Copies of this chain bind each other. A is one copy, B any other.
Amino acid sequence: MSSPQKTALVISAHSADFVWRAGGAITAHVKQGWKVRIICLSYGERGESAKLWRVPNMTMDRVKDTRQREAQAAADILGAEIEFWDLEDYPLRISDDTLFRLVDTYRTLQPEFVLSHSEHDPYNFDHPLAMRAAQEARILAQAEGHNPGQKILGAPPVYAFEPHQTEQCQWQPNTFLDITDVWKLKRQAIECMAGQEHLWDYYTRVALQRGVQAKRNIGITAKRHIEYAEAYMRLTPLVVEQL
């Protein structure tokens, strides 16, 4: 009898964040047989679609539609499920109803880990809010008295993926994920984001830098070759049987 498929949850404030910041983790786990679900809280239609808005006669619906198609294409390449909750952005607002919907997601999916944004970002208020909701919903999903009878959630670790200007965001990576083997897929997913072409090479360079640093952190004498990596800030302690 096979063990059940492991799952992971990615909570993305805008529809492209998951690609730049966690595309490698998503597809690496898919490749290892996991189911990964991405929730895009908004399309990033106001704040992260500058190029589209420079097209004459652009409308909000067309922006959202374009963003959705790009994100869907990226998710398909990465092999992940994706949901679009269309909560609007700049500013993103999270009602208690949305929070409970996230709780339901946690309880249904029972993820092994959850990825979301940094807890602080002076350049972007939607990102920390998404992370806050990811954390609060996780706590509610653990409460036996919330919808009693449902299967409660365990304690999946929470990771903050990389923000745009790390040092301004009190974000310090403590976990590097080797994504060398899946880099090509991540780059393909990145290239789905036609409206943010200026970021393609930016995040390629991020992956290369993190690759060098990951290699440095296992030591130059280590045999493992790492060229591309993603960096994460794990927010919850690790429990191990071997250091």
Hey, which bits of chain A sit against chain B, CB under 8 A? 8, 25, 28-29, 32, 45-47, 49-50, 53-54, 58, 60, 63, 89-91, 93, 96, 99, 113, 115, 122-125, 135-136, 139-140, 142-146, 148, 152-157, 159, 164-168, 171-178, 198, 201-202, 205-206, 208-209, 212-214, 216-222, 226, 229, 231-232, 234-243
Interface centre among A89, A144, A168, A237 (most CB of B within 10 A): A237
Instruction: Let me know if A136 and B125 touch, CB within 8 A.
Output: yes
Given A28-B241, A53-B148, A176-B237, 11 other A-B residues pairs in contact with their CB atoms under 8 A: A32-B242, A46-B144, A90-B140, A155-B219, A155-B220, A164-B216, A175-B237, A175-B240, A209-B209, A217-B236, A231-B237
Instruction: Let me know if A145 and B90 touch, CB within 8 A.
Output: yes
The residue of chain B having its C-beta at the shortest distance from the C-beta of A135 within the complex is B122
Instruction: Let me know if A218 and B243 touch, CB within 8 A.
Output: no
* Nearest chain B CB to A88 CB, angstrom units: 10
Instruction: Let me know if A135 and B125 touch, CB within 8 A.
Output: yes
* Nearest chain B CB to A156 CB, angstrom units: 8
Instruction: Let me know if A49 and B243 touch, CB within 8 A.
Output: no
Expressed in whole angstroms, the Cα–Cα distance for A177 and B241 within the complex equals 6
**Chain B residues in 8 Å Cβ range of A159:** 243
Instruction: Let me know if A212 and B220 touch, CB within 8 A.
Output: no
Instruction: Let me know if A53 and B144 touch, CB within 8 A.
Output: yes
* Nearest chain B CB to A4 CB, angstrom units: 14
Task: Pick the contact of A209: B123, B202, B218, B232 (CB < 8 A).
Answer: B202
The residue of chain B having its C-beta at the shortest distance from the C-beta of A132 within the complex is B125
* Nearest chain B CB to A27 CB, angstrom units: 13
The residue of chain B having its C-beta at the shortest distance from the C-beta of A215 within the complex is B239
Task: Pick the contact of A213: B8, B154, B165, B235 (CB < 8 A).
Answer: B165
Instruction: Let me know if B239 and A214 touch, CB within 8 A.
Output: yes
The residue of chain B having its C-beta at the shortest distance from the C-beta of A146 within the complex is B46
**Chain B residues in 8 Å Cβ range of A209:** 202, 205-206, 209
**Chain B residues in 8 Å Cβ range of A229:** 239
Give 22 CB contacts A-B under 8 Å: A28-B241, A29-B243, A47-B140, A47-B143, A53-B148, A90-B145, A93-B96, A113-B243, A122-B235, A154-B219, A154-B220, A155-B222, A165-B216, A166-B167, A168-B237, A173-B237, A175-B237, A175-B238, A177-B243, A202-B208, A202-B212, A209-B209
